Amino acid sequence: MTKQVKVLAFDVFGTVVDWHGSIASAVKKLNLAADPNEFASAWRAGYKPAMAQVRSGKLPWTKIDDLHRLILDDVLKQFNITTLSENQIRDLNLIWHRLNPWADTVEGLGRLKSKFTIVTLSNGNLGLLADMAKNAALPWDLILSAEVFRHYKPDPETYLGVAEIFDLSPEAVMLVAAHKDDLVSAKACGLQTAFIERPLEFGPHFTRDDLRQEDFTNYHAKDLNDLARQLGC
């Protein structure tokens, strides 16, 4: 058996909340002249390149709210959408603060919280994550963000930062994520890992081919209730 885990650190976008469905639904409500699924995918597609600019030092520290806005402005151009006012654009950008949890999320987190300290480890900024938690009743013990460490995942400072904050060795922390690259980076820092299948993360028209169980993860779960069951919660 692996060393005892004390803290579960959760990736958020895709793992805990359904960014694709929430954004597609907001775009649909606004009656924009764009396919809601394509719009959601395009917005998210700008995310990693934008963070890479911060990670490489090309951009100074910039929080996700501001990166989301930079990308949104590009996406609106790309879809030739010129009907939104500045206030509407600003409000649309805040949709990331109001993403909906997956059906199992709130119950699963509650069960996991009974046995572990549950924290976020997200590239989302603190204000975004706090608004999201309040809106969706996510019962975090602590909200941690790239903003605290001034480093975006997958920089090691983020994974090791969680362990330092709780004065723990890295193997007493487990990253829970629906993304294998995130788990690979966490494992390289000595953290334990749990993969969560989220077949619909990228929308109804996208078939994920990366959901198979891997030898390198400590746990592989269908959802957060399944993880809670496997961890004896």
Q: Which is nearer to a copy of itself, 123 or 125 (CB)?
A: 125
Q: Which is nearer to a copy of itself, 73 or 141 (CB)?
A: 141
What CA–CA distance (Å, rounded) separates 119 from 122? Answer: 9
On whether the CB atoms of residues 200 and 232 are closer than 8 A, the answer is no
Residue 69 Cβ vs a copy of itself, minimum distance, rounded to whole Å: 11
Q: Which is nearer to a copy of itself, 127 or 190 (CB)?
A: 127
Residues in contact with a copy of itself by CB under 8 A are: 65, 117, 119, 125-127, 129-131, 133-134, 141-144, 147-148, 165-167
Q: How wide is the angle at C-alpha 22 spanned by C-alphas 16 and 31, nearest 5°?
A: 175
| Omega before residue 154 within 30° of 0, cis | yes
What CA–CA distance (Å, rounded) separates 112 from 117? Answer: 8
Q: Which is nearer to a copy of itself, 141 or 181 (CB)?
A: 141
What CA–CA distance (Å, rounded) separates 209 from 166? Answer: 36
Residue 136 Cβ vs a copy of itself, minimum distance, rounded to whole Å: 12
| Interacting residues of 82 by C-beta distance below 8 A, sequence separation 6+ | 76
Residue 144 Cβ vs a copy of itself, minimum distance, rounded to whole Å: 8
Q: Which is nearer to a copy of itself, 40 or 173 (CB)?
A: 173
Residue 129 Cβ vs a copy of itself, minimum distance, rounded to whole Å: 8
Type of residue at 157: E
Residue 63 Cβ vs a copy of itself, minimum distance, rounded to whole Å: 9
